[in-house]
Amino acid sequence: MSELNGLLRDKVRLLGNVLGQAIAAQHGEEMLTRIEDIRQQAKTARAGDETDRDRLLALLKTMPDDALVPVVRGFNQFLNLANIAEQQHSASWRRGDFLQDDVDLLFNGLLDRLQEKGIDGLDLSQKVADVNIELVLTAHPTEVTRRTLIQKYDLIAQLLQQRDDLRDGHPQLEDIEKRIASLVEEIWQTDEIRQTRPSPVDEAKWGFAVVENSLWQAVPQLLRQLDNELRSRGAGALPLTAAPVRFSSWMGGDRDGNPNVTADITREVLYLARWMAADLYLRDIEKLGMQLSMTAASAEMRQAYPVHEPYRACIHDLRDKLEATRVWAAAKAKGKDCDIRPLMSQDELLQPLMLCYNSLIDRGMDTVANGLLLDTLRRVACFGLSMVRLDVRQESTRHANAIQALCEFYGWGDYHSWPESQKQEFLLKELKSKRPIIPTRWQPDAEVQEVLDTMKVIASDVGEGVSCYIISMASEPSDMLAVALLLQACDVRDHLPIVPLFETLDDLEQSAPRMEKLWSVDWYQEYCQGHQQVMIGYSDSSKDAGQLAAVWAQYRAQERLSAVANDKNIRLRLFHGRGGTVGRGGGPAHGAILAQPPGSVEGGLRVTEQGEMIRFKYGMPTLALRNLKIYVSSVLEANLLPPESAKPEWREVMESLAQSGVNSYRAMVRDTTDFVRYFRAATPEQELGKLALGSRPARRKSGGGIETLRAIPWIFAWTQMRLMLPAWLGADESLQQHIKEEKLSLLRQMYQQWPFFRTYIEMLEMVVSKADSGLAQYYERRLVEQELQPLGSVLRARLEDMRDLVLQIKEQQILLENNRLLDHSMSIRNPYTDPLHYLQAELLYRDRESGDSSNTQVEQALKVTMAGIAAGMRNTG
């Protein structure tokens, strides 16, 4: 391990040195010395030297305004570069010299256990092909890094890998290190903070870039690895068109609470996705045109292309169609008419490639067939014509308002005031009616028109790129039926999946009975064709009830929904709206999937990958490959080797923990008079609006308290000052109470034997290890008025109690005893994040003291501290 850490430290040192050279070149050696002095003092201060801490704070308080931006930029960029080194190193083959790849161990160990259980041969291969995982890329405002810089960071990662590939003393090493230095200088001379918020189209293009730069390579590599491992065990090969993992996106489709996402935006994003897919396939096709120069061909191939080089003729024909598709999509994205016929079905792309593949196999050219051509077939099976399909999401009242407007126009009554039974009766009657419900000369208000315009986009020639329609705050069957009626009225294709999203604690608790009512409606049973997707929201339930009560409500909702779906013969697929942070359901995927109720992923798994976690997990092909393999392994294990059901006494304790947890959480967040004032004073919540994170507003409504704040900025703010409160508040008093009731041995048993509880406790351990009472106290001293400070003392004492409780349950002496890699990672970052925290508190003080008079240097430096701390913590909201 120490040698492994030495390799990583060598990369971090290299990047730190070239960053120092770039800083000195622009600002002089004096600035570099200032930054290094601050880092050294922060390092000794963290080791417990109070004198150095006092000197550090005095230095930061007296720092002139013109030095603020270079200093905070220096620390911010070091943290970004450290992240790159760590990401690249975690996926580098050099890591294997000292630590065998844990992901390969995980997958091979799983295959051993499955074969021991008698799952083997073609059955095993088919089980792998059928895991049915869909990762949904979302652009919630947590990715703080600009795309311009991400591209440069990716190039540095590639160069670090090239450096790994060469032995010490190789003549190319010097050139590689010069190119790294040049990139770091480019980064230093580039503004890391967006000056304007990204548009939804910008966000969508960012998502496309992740596919282009990483997933496009990783998917065929994943399938090749899975195929090789299955073949080596005597199991059958994966089917040619196996797609165990697929991708969708919310970027440009999620309009819930985001007025910037309109029907026109969704249309443009759908056409841009078609353009990008055609462009990526053309790159493969150009290479195949050069490669497939052979003449020997099957009779079927000869019949289709009776020429000397039939493969090239076939590939050139496909190239022409893809080029036409690209021209068509580009014109349509700009709102122009285009008479060119594009590829309209996946089969039009797949069949010519299959013809080539089968012919090559028929003539004994297996090696050629199973090279780039197979990779292209795999891509077609995974990405289709749209590359990523788009989810459309809207809030339920918007659909009810559209039905209300129709009822008012026709004089049918006040839809909003009708009881649920009357709403259902009306909607079902209209769904079965043969006459159109939307009048031709009707002009509804702008909000209703926008709902209808969006549905018309889904009905258009590019609407096949829409995967499903998600309804936020769906509470009754009428919410689903209203969407079905509007989709039908706008001529959307039959059976587009309609997905309810259950978010709050009450919604989660009522989700199963509500879906049972819907599945009892004959018309809807026919509409859904025995398949249903239900989305479980993690963010809002955690903000509403605290993390402890939320995770238990999510677990029970999944159990109950699965039971009702079984009873109604519905194949249920649960869609997990997880965030990057623990407070929003985030955390390592393997543990999270195995912690789900037994049987709840039998219908497959759909899960959001949000914000900056997309880059951390999928930003490089090697990283993406590892993380995709973890998903495949985890879903296979959850379905074929499920854990035992929870014991009744565990469930009883969990029920009690959750109830006392929600009471404790709400007593602080809702019922403590000064809590909101403390939150706004001690954290940068009010200043977050200055950071142009995403296209979505931070609040659902202007003004108001915690309830109007989105879950993402709520967590971002607490993370910035290191109290990490949303992830543990409520759990501390609840666990303490149960230990006083002599339940410690039972809690330890639950931790050791129940994957759900073990995952929860390990998430708590991770988050309290990142929390820092000393830093939180400094924010308070600098920013919070005296009368509110006792509340901060209470919160910090509760955090310390939380640490002790985790250690008691895990029977450990120190945190992260069994996760030394994370501990090491944080130890590298702390000397850089600590000064950013101290500086942020100082900058918040200066910014607030200045009142209405804006100080550009202070504001710019403040934004950079937010980005830097987010990079240091490796997650934001």
Which residue numbers are catalytic? 140, 543
Is the distance from CB of 872 to CB of 829 less than 8 angstroms?
yes
Q: Would you tell me how many other CB atoms lie within 10 Å of the CB of residue 225?
A: 17
Q: Which of 119, 99, 100, 101 is nearest to 110 (CA)?
A: 119
Task: Output the six-digit token pair for 403.
Answer: 């039905």
Return the half-sphere exposure (C-beta side, CA atoms, 13 A cut-off) of residue 227: 17
Is the distance from CB of 402 to CB of 451 less than 8 angstroms?
yes
DSSP state of 495: T
Pairing of strands 605-610, 466-472: unpaired
Amino acid at 798: R
Query: Under DSSP, is residue 608 helix (H, G, I), strand (E, B) or coil?
Result: strand
Amino acid at 321: K
DSSP state of 784: S
Distance CA 477, CA 423 (A): 9
Q: Which of 127, 351, 348, 130 is nearest to 243 (CA)?
A: 130
Task: Output the six-digit token pair for 28.
Answer: 């002089």
Instruction: Using the CB atoms, write b or e for 3-17: b if 16+ within 10 Å.
Output: ebbebbbebbebbbe
Contacts of 773 (CB under 8 A, 6+ apart): 723, 796, 799, 800
Distance CA 839, CA 72 (A): 8
Amino acid at 645: S
Q: Which of 452, 385, 393, 456 is nearest to 249 (CA)?
A: 393
Q: Distance of CA 376 to CAs 287, 356, 383, 464, 651, Å? A: 11, 12, 10, 21, 48
**Angle in degrees, CA 595, 597, 600, rounded to 5:** 115
Is the distance from CB of 253 to CB of 466 less than 8 angstroms?
yes
C-alpha of 309 from chain center: 46
Distance CA 286, CA 513 (A): 54
Q: Match 């008691």 to its residue by tokens.
A: 808
Q: Match 């993992």 to its residue by tokens.
A: 245
H or E stretch covering 166: none
Distance CA 727, CA 543 (A): 9
Q: Which of 595, 524, 525, 597 is nearest to 556 (CA)?
A: 597
Distance CA 229, CA 751 (A): 33
Q: Would you tell me how many other CB atoms lie within 10 Å of the CB of residue 680?
A: 16
Return the half-sphere exposure (C-beta side, CA atoms, 13 A cut-off) of residue 723: 26
